[in-house]
Structure 1
Amino acid sequence: MFIHHQNQRTLALLSFLDRSHSVAKSGYNRWLVPPAALCIHLCIGQIYAYSVFNEPMTRILGVTASTPEDWKLTTLGWIFSIALFTLGASAALFGKWLERVGPRMAMFISAVCFCGGFLVAALGVYLHQIWIVYLGHGILGGIGLGLGYISPVSTLIKWFPDRPGLATGMAIMGFGGGAMIASPLSVSLMEWFSSANSVGVAETFIALGLIYFVVMMAGVFTVRVPQAGWHPSHYQPDAVKPKKLVTTANVDADTAIRTPQFWFIFLVLMLNVTAGIGVLGQASVMIQEMFSADVVGADRAIGVAEAAGFVGLLSLFNMLGRFFWSSTSDRIGRKPTYSIFFLLGAVLYVLIPTFGNMGSSVLFIGTFCIIISMYGGGFATVPAYLKDMFGVMQVGAIHGRLLVAWSLAAIFGPVLINYLRAYQIETVGLPPAQAYSFTMYIMAGLLVLGFVFNMLIRPVRERYHYEESGKG
């Protein structure tokens, strides 16, 4: 009898999660979908605040100071890289499945994996086994990141065909803003749980996993997909004036990856992400080293609390940039928007070492806020860029495959920051405050290369269109 009731509950849950049961009824307010997406993205955006755990996790055994048996910073840096690599890989692998089963099922699986990853990582910290932490936050959590990231994007574009940049910006800004909540929350929880025998990391992971699961389930229960053929009453697709880089046709996901446009956008995203993601992964440590009490000429010393505030501020601009730049792209176009990212970003990266040598924390922080706003804007604008190139039919699946670029950048960016920093300190003998200058120049060069690839993007040829292939 018990097993029978359990089977009934399982079937009811699966039925509720099925795409056919998430189709909106007439009169459904489409403005409920962005908050549902935000419930997911604000939670999974916690990954951008992961740097606040790095320093405490180097003291798991020593508690007050690192011991030789404690984890090194370079070892911990791989958690962030593995998680974002898995994000892109899982998004690419499950993109077409998501289009088939709908956002509700994908968002539910995302919540289970992402929040379950916290519990597994807590076990890894408790046992002091780094491979378990990699498994929890890196693999399992990364799958949750990938599914959660792409699950609302295609749905939002279909609900907002009149403003696709605005729609995706509203959701994806939550991913950028997640650290604004997670950073102070994580620091507070670690302080609350810390004791003479613990830095409070394992307990904090458990608490965050439970909190985020409740919030993500709110998004699962709220999200809906539009009925077939639905569009806003004021929007008439046939009356929209065609633009050079905006198609009215569709390209399926398997065909899209055979076009040069997909690979140019792939390189554009990868280079833009590489230039920003390494900084985000080590933001807390970097600003403490560049503006420590030992640095001559620094206008102020920045400690752990101020560094957490810096991470939160970057998260705020990451979030606002996603909304601002994606909305701006609806007016000026995706290609010009990315040109701004690359040219302005390159100039700012070149200036960062100068501001650091000047000892001006205000200029340093302000410059990074602008850079990170464009980094976030690149993520929020790219789904609309794909919609312009390939249509809406399988834009979610195409977006998922494109996020492999994020996976690669998740390795290149942190490796550039972590290992070049270690090389310059340990081999060259530079003080920590000066160890980042060469890396900033490399980032500027990557952005210049991204500008070139962006300028090469042209409309997709008709032979790739779904209807023209004879399959439509």
Structure 2
Amino acid sequence: MSSIPHPDAGAARGWLAKERIIAPPGFNRWLVPPAALAIHLCIGMAYGFSVFWLPLSKAVGIQAPLACGPEIGFWQELFVSHCDWKISTLGWMYTLFFVLLGSSAALWGGWLERVGPRKAGVVSAVCWCGGMLLSALGVHLHQFWLMLLGSGVIGGIGLGLGYISPVSTLIKWFPDRRGMATGMAIMGFGGGAMIGSPLAAELMQRFATPSDVGVMPTFVVMAAVYFVFMMGGALAYRVPASNWAPPGWAPPPRPAAGVASSMITHGHVHVRKVWGIPQFWLVWMVLCMNVSAGIGVIGMASPMLQEVFGGRLIGVDARFGELDKVQLAAIAGVAAGFTALLSLFNIGGRFFWASLSDRIGRKATYIVFFVLGGALYVSVPGSAGAGSLLLFVAAFCVILSMYGGGFATVPAYLADLFGTQMVGAIHGRLLTAWATAGILGPVVVNYMRDWQLGLGIPREQVYNQTMYILAGMLVVGLVCNLLVRPVNPKHFMDEAELAAEKRLARDRAIAAESGPGTMSFHDSSRLLVVLAWAAVGIPLAWGVYRTGLSVARFFH
């Protein structure tokens, strides 16, 4: 403890200090979610980075990829400048995003709790946007190692810090609606690609020349735009005073001695203790299984639809392998609309399920995910075999809504179990489950598909066994969720430990002369709230519109 500066140290009084962002009486809490959305909508572009792969794969050849010779392996591709990168090589940036997201959130979650969301948001903006600028230099010099360092490593650190920066703050602002609050922000992470992907495509088209594919200036422009939005969001963060509560709300009463405690704790667990608490690992498995099943489907949604239904997608009675190039291009367009539809359900599910969890509880919400999700996975082979496109698509739309809902509900689940004091740091450590799932889910789906194709199984049937395996993952998640019980009080910080942690986190009550105030919607300018929501709502609406155009092709 002695190595940690005292909270009243001079450096702590800067404009990024947590003391500077404690909200005054009358502050409107509905200004905080747009700040979180501003950051999440920007870093959510990590999901859409694949829009750059095809142009980057012909950055040298321009019209067509200029392939490297057989003597050029992966390590040589990091430094080679006379030939084009393979798409499989570029995909390592995507892998680094989510590895660094989980690891940086786990490493610096405790630091974030102590310095507050503003400083973490600024660091996130500098890393994410600075990483994009370094990647732009890598494109200009055609040095892939610069892109890995820029967007992959530095940007990945910004991704992790930006992802968890609003969690603790929103939960403290909305103790009455924890799920809804975190659902709003994490919905933005899912929606980031809806805005960024079409924006990047239009910018690359505008900047493309006969000698340039337009990726480098696109990176520069997007980095500048994202920096403005992310800094705006970071500077708009405010944290509530430690004695603040929403008007008319009171925390659930503490259980009487000898009475089983509820799933919503009144204590607070220190982040350094969570590794040794069974409930943490149970929730870790809950998230890992839910994400593994969903992320495996996301990566194969387009080829799965095409291979299962083949020519029926365009009214032709033919299997996938019997189609010509024109027909294959046509069903690829339909499949793109399918993936766009899934993205809408992924985003909408984040808000819907997290908000529902406020009413039925987090544990019950995950029971729904696993029971309903398992039944839907098991139903897929039947609907595919019967040729029912409607049932097939409906099943995956609901599945993807619960995939997104799992991300949005888990921060509130952690706050219920471990308290709110260090929930952001604990959430950061839990995100290692996401990194694990990002490897496990795609590996299961991809390798099972290749193995069954190797056995000579028809393409329209190669996903049947995979669906049963994914359903099995959800059964494992269900068992873990059912085993979750309230945390043993011995793991909670005592009053002295909690007071010391609050001092380190620079938590302060509202000034005595102001009294233990409450802040209502009407206490601050409605116009400011409207403007804040418009700043994030208009880009999100544009992204939904562009995605809707792709969805329309699917229904057409």
Structure 1 length as normaliser, TM-score? 0.87
Q: What does residue 41 of structure 2 align with?
A: 42
CA 1:310 to 1:207, structure 2 compared with 1: closer, same or farther past 3 Å? Answer: farther
Q: Distance in 2 between matches of 1:305 and 1:76?
A: 23
CA 1:189 to 1:12, structure 2 compared with 1: closer, same or farther past 3 Å? Answer: farther
Q: Does 1:227 align with 2:258?
A: no
Letter in 2 for 1:149: Y
Please give the per-residue CA displacement for 1:52-109, whole angstroms capped at 9, x wherever unaligned.
3344444444444445434444433332222111101100111110011000000111
Equivalent in 403, 410, 418 of residue 438 of structure 2: 410
Q: Does 1:347 align with 2:346?
A: no
Equivalent in 219, 235, 239 of residue 205 of structure 1: 219
Q: What does residue 485 of structure 2 align with?
A: 458
Helix, strand or coil for the counterpart of 1:181? Answer: helix
Q: Does 1:183 align with 2:201?
A: no
Alpha carbons 1:179, 1:312 under 8 Å: kept: no
Q: Does 1:376 align with 2:404?
A: yes
Name which of structure 1's ranges 296-305 and 149-158 shifts more when overlaid on structure 2. Answer: 296-305
Matches within 5 A, 1:367-446: 367-421=395-449, 427=454, 436-446=463-473
Letter in 2 for 1:173: M
CA 1:95 to 1:12, structure 2 compared with 1: closer, same or farther past 3 Å? Answer: closer
Q: Distance in 2 between matches of 1:138 and 1:285?
A: 27
Q: What does residue 5 of structure 1 align with?
A: none
Q: Does 1:262 align with 2:262?
A: no
Alpha carbons 1:36, 1:222 under 8 Å: kept: yes
CA 1:56 to 1:172, structure 2 compared with 1: closer, same or farther past 3 Å? Answer: same
CA 1:365 to 1:115, structure 2 compared with 1: closer, same or farther past 3 Å? Answer: farther
Q: Distance in 2 between matches of 1:109 and 1:409?
A: 27
CA 1:469 to 1:265, structure 2 compared with 1: closer, same or farther past 3 Å? Answer: farther
Helix, strand or coil for the counterpart of 2:276? Answer: coil
Alpha carbons 2:351, 2:405 under 8 Å: kept: yes
Alpha carbons 2:13, 2:20 under 8 Å: kept: no
Please give the per-residue CA displacement for 1:231-267, whole angstroms capped at 9, x wherever unaligned.
1121122658896211111111112221100000011
CA 1:470 to 1:47, structure 2 compared with 1: closer, same or farther past 3 Å? Answer: closer
Q: What does residue 253 of structure 1 align with?
A: 271
Matches within 5 A, 1:52-131: 52-69=51-68, 70-131=84-145
Q: Find the structure with the greater CA-based Rg.
A: 2
Q: Distance in 1 between matches of 2:226 and 2:423?
A: 27
CA 1:319 to 1:331, structure 2 compared with 1: closer, same or farther past 3 Å? Answer: same
Q: Distance in 2 between matches of 1:13 and 1:351?
A: 57
The Cα shift of 1:18 comes to 1.2
Matches within 5 A, 1:13-32: 15-32=14-31
Q: Distance in 2 between matches of 1:414 and 1:360?
A: 25
Please give the per-residue CA displacement for 1:94-142, whole angstroms capped at 9, x wherever unaligned.
1110011000000111111111222223333444444333222221121
Helix, strand or coil for the counterpart of 1:237? Answer: coil
CA 1:423 to 1:295, structure 2 compared with 1: closer, same or farther past 3 Å? Answer: farther
Q: Distance in 2 between matches of 1:428 and 1:241?
A: 59
Equivalent in 363, 388, 399 of residue 335 of structure 1: 363
CA 1:143 to 1:470, structure 2 compared with 1: closer, same or farther past 3 Å? Answer: closer
**Alignment length (residue pairs):** 461
Q: What does residue 494 of structure 2 align with?
A: 467
Q: What does residue 553 of structure 2 align with?
A: none
The percentage of aligned residue pairs carrying the same residue is: 54
CA 1:115 to 1:357, structure 2 compared with 1: closer, same or farther past 3 Å? Answer: farther
CA 1:14 to 1:292, structure 2 compared with 1: closer, same or farther past 3 Å? Answer: farther
CA 1:46 to 1:262, structure 2 compared with 1: closer, same or farther past 3 Å? Answer: same
Name which of structure 1's ranges 434-443 and 330-339 shifts more when overlaid on structure 2. Answer: 434-443
The Cα shift of 1:269 comes to 0.6
Letter in 2 for 1:15: G
Helix, strand or coil for the counterpart of 2:247? Answer: coil
Helix, strand or coil for the counterpart of 1:371? Answer: helix
CA 1:358 to 1:122, structure 2 compared with 1: closer, same or farther past 3 Å? Answer: farther
Q: What does residue 296 of structure 1 align with?
A: 318
Q: Does 1:277 align with 2:295?
A: yes
Q: Distance in 2 between matches of 1:192 and 1:13?
A: 45
Please give the per-residue CA displacement for 1:390-444, whole angstroms capped at 9, x wherever unaligned.
111111111111111112122223334455555666x556787765554444322
Q: Distance in 2 between matches of 1:290 and 1:78?
A: 29
Alpha carbons 1:386, 1:395 under 8 Å: kept: yes
Q: Distance in 2 between matches of 1:230 and 1:342?
A: 36
Letter in 1 for 2:45: Q
Please give the per-residue CA displacement for 1:122-172, whole angstroms capped at 9, x wherever unaligned.
333444444333222221121111101110010001001111111111111
CA 1:296 to 1:63, structure 2 compared with 1: closer, same or farther past 3 Å? Answer: farther
Helix, strand or coil for the counterpart of 1:269? Answer: helix
The Cα shift of 1:205 comes to 2.6
Alpha carbons 2:380, 2:392 under 8 Å: kept: yes
Q: What does residue 7 of structure 1 align with?
A: none
Q: Distance in 2 between matches of 1:349 and 1:282?
A: 14
Q: What does residue 167 of structure 1 align with?
A: 181
Letter in 1 for 2:492: H
